[in-house]
Amino acid sequence: MSQVGKLVSLASFLATHPRITVEEAARATHRTARELIADMKTLLMVGVHPYSPSDFIGYAPMTAGMNSAITIHFADHFKRPLNFTPQEALALKYALGHFALAADAPTRRQVDALSGALAEMLHGRAAQELSSLGRGFVVSRPTERMRGLLSQLALAGEQRKIVEIEYYSAHRGEMSTRRVHPYRVVESGTHFYLFAFCELAAATRHFRVDRIRKATVTQNAFVSKPPKVPKSGRMTSTLSGKTVEYLTVMFTKEVASDVQDEWQGVPEAAISTARGGRVVLRLPLYNDPWAVGFAMGFGGHAEIVKPLRVREMLKRTQENALRAHGG
């Protein structure tokens, strides 16, 4: 937790535990008494010009012994409802809508209630913008689809039913249709995988669930069982084959965290940081068209550094796309 988070948590704790002693508060917040007093003194400095220390948050007694009771107090305006500017209300409304896409049903109901209250605060041009822009910059996330797909695959595994999947192979850069015997769904890092026997490969595979475009549970049962030898069921990389050369891509800071989340932990991938918050990703290169499509998926946030052949291929692809669209 950041220092700001720790201070906010401390202020909340003291506000909900009136008259707690220094010794009790220190023990409950996993601090020493000296650390507690130091953090409380830092809280006194919360505020903006022209406010003075303790105008926002204060406490008594100012010099407390171990058994002294702490009383925290806040400025009167904390007790009044917040007033947002139209720009602030719109930004918060959109942020809540974006958050709701990844939330469960009870949380979405609470978010909808908050969004409704914010909408009532808007008047004039801000209200018109809200009604005309609708979802604004919110991008739909496949959260509900993923939940349904995970449930479908897990149930098929329990019922031992063969599943036909349409799967995108990052290695080949293409879609394929496969019949699989689902054994179980596993979680690794930030992704879910279906561990299954693939009839096409005649071997077990780990299929990343978010790359399964469609899954159809058949009425055909399977009798195959997961391999007993641990090595046979180990997670294998989506990158496999004979390494000839490597692909190096530079990403801007805007997408750096997404790239790190996606590729951190992949054995053949190497991630390093660069100036300005950028990151560099180095991967085995097996497929030039896939590399071009991979980089183009990030728009102006990705630059192919090596090999130059693929860099030029990306340039030609972009030029052809611009000509095709009248650019």
Question: Which CATH number covers residue 195?
Answer: 2.30.30.100
Q: Are residues 149 and 218 in the same domain?
A: yes
Q: Are residues 51 and 111 in the same domain?
A: no
Number of domains in the chain: 4
List the domain range (segments joined by +) for residue 30: 3-79
Q: What is the pLDDT of residue 128?
A: 62
Range scoring the smallest mean pLDDT among 230-234, 245-249, 264-268: 230-234
Q: What is the pLDDT of residue 163?
A: 96
Q: How far apart are CA 249 and CA 302, in angstroms?
A: 7
Chosen domain end from 63, 98, 133: 133
Q: Are residues 218 and 261 in the same domain?
A: no
- Residue 171: inside a domain: yes
- Residue 139: inside a domain: no
Chosen domain end from 180, 210, 233: 233
Q: Please give the share of the chain, as a percent, with pLDDT higher than 90.
A: 13
- Residue 138: inside a domain: no
Does the pLDDT at position 276 exceed 80? yes
pLDDT band at residue 21, thresholds of 50, 70 and 90? confident
User: Mean pLDDT over residues 125-153, rounded?
Assistant: 63
Q: What is the pLDDT of residue 131?
A: 59
User: Mean pLDDT over residues 250-263, rounded?
Assistant: 84
Kindly report, residue by residue over 193-242, the tens digit of the pLDDT: 888 998 988 888 888 888 888 999 999 999 888 876 544 444 444 444 45
Chosen domain end from 204, 233, 262: 233
Q: Are residues 124 and 156 in the same domain?
A: no
